[in-house]
Amino acid sequence: MKKLKYKGDRIRLDKYLAENLKNFSRSKIQKFIREKKILVNSNFVKSNYVLNDDDNVKVLDFEEGKEFQAENIDVEILYEDKDFMVVNKPAGIVVHVGEGGRHATGTLMHALLDKIDKDAGPRERLGIVHRLDKDTSGVLIVAKTKFGYDYFVKLFKERKIKKYYVALLYGKPLHDEGIIDSPIGRNLKQRKKMGITAESEGKKAVSRYRVLENFNYENKVLSLVEVDILTGRTHQIRVHMQAIDCPVVGDKAYGNKKVNSIFEKDFLLKRQFLHAEKVVFEHPKTGKKMNIKADLSIDLKNVLKKLKL
């Protein structure tokens, strides 16, 4: 519990808390107020409540200054120097704690915390300069210093980092190579999902794909593809592949339930067949071209091995 005593000119509660709880956005604080985690003079109030001199404010259920602890989680490090490292993220692990600490333990950030300086980014996503979905494996860059963090944030913003993925699709794209240029935004009916939107409502999203190999299994056509994403939107590859009627195999949100069930039963595949295979960028100090690759994880290798029999 955090206790605050207000002194000064009249001010809205949400604005006052945003100024005093630096690690949380105003929208997050408004959510805390709606969830009745904020008390004013022992009463629950609304965000637009105007504070008076000597009002007592109590923040419940979270500690704004709580330190996160490093955890013993095995993560393969593909490259490391003073300012950053590149790791092979396992499937099934969330990348960072998230705003408000909603993933309190067991994240990739917790696994690497001992290697990351305290000023290498915001407290709840320390060192994290980009993300992969929980059930996507593969290459991820993690900053270790403020210099490294600032450098990679800038590179991603300027789209100077190339990211290549491997995915197994249910179906066969119309062309062996192609570019999908369709904006992506939040699904209005299912807020946890994304979808193709009008240009005015979503963010620009561009994916370039190339078919590597085709398979047939139980009269179903499958395509192994390499995808180069030119933008980095939430669920971008999964949404774009669904949009061309070739969803990612094993994708519980955007995939084909019948096909997913077959692959879980016959191949023991319990997540989407999506792997971040490679990143290409310039080293922050030497300028050398870095080309770092992560092998497919064993569950995905086993799927391909069985398909090739």
In terms of DSSP H, where are the helices of the chain?
Answer: 13-20, 26-34, 108-112, 146-157, 236-243, 257-267, 298-307
Question: In this structure, are residues 33 and 47 in contact, taking their beta carbons and an 8 Å threshold?
Answer: yes
Where are the strands (E) in the chain, listed by range? Answer: 2-5, 11-12, 38-40, 50-51, 56-59, 76-80, 84-89, 137-143, 162-170, 177-181, 184-186, 194-196, 206-217, 220-229, 274-282, 289-293
- Exactly one of 133, 245, 251, 266 is catalytic; name it: 133
Strand partners of residue 291: 280
User: Encoding tokens for residue 167?
Assistant: 């995915």
Is 133 noted as a catalytic residue in this protein? yes
Whole-angstrom distance, CA of residue 40 vs CA of residue 30: 14
Q: Exposed, middle or buried by CB within 10 Å (0-12, 13-18, 19+), for 191?
A: exposed
- With tokens 């980009």, the residue in question is 130
Amino acid at 245: D
User: Encoding tokens for residue 44?
Assistant: 């629950």
Report residue 248 CA to chain centroid gap.
17
Closest to 283 in 3D by CA, of 271, 291, 275: 291
Q: What are phi and psi of 110, to 5 degrees?
A: -60, -35
Whole-angstrom distance, CA of residue 36 vs CA of residue 39: 7
Strand partners of residue 179: 208
* Residues annotated catalytic, as ranges: 133
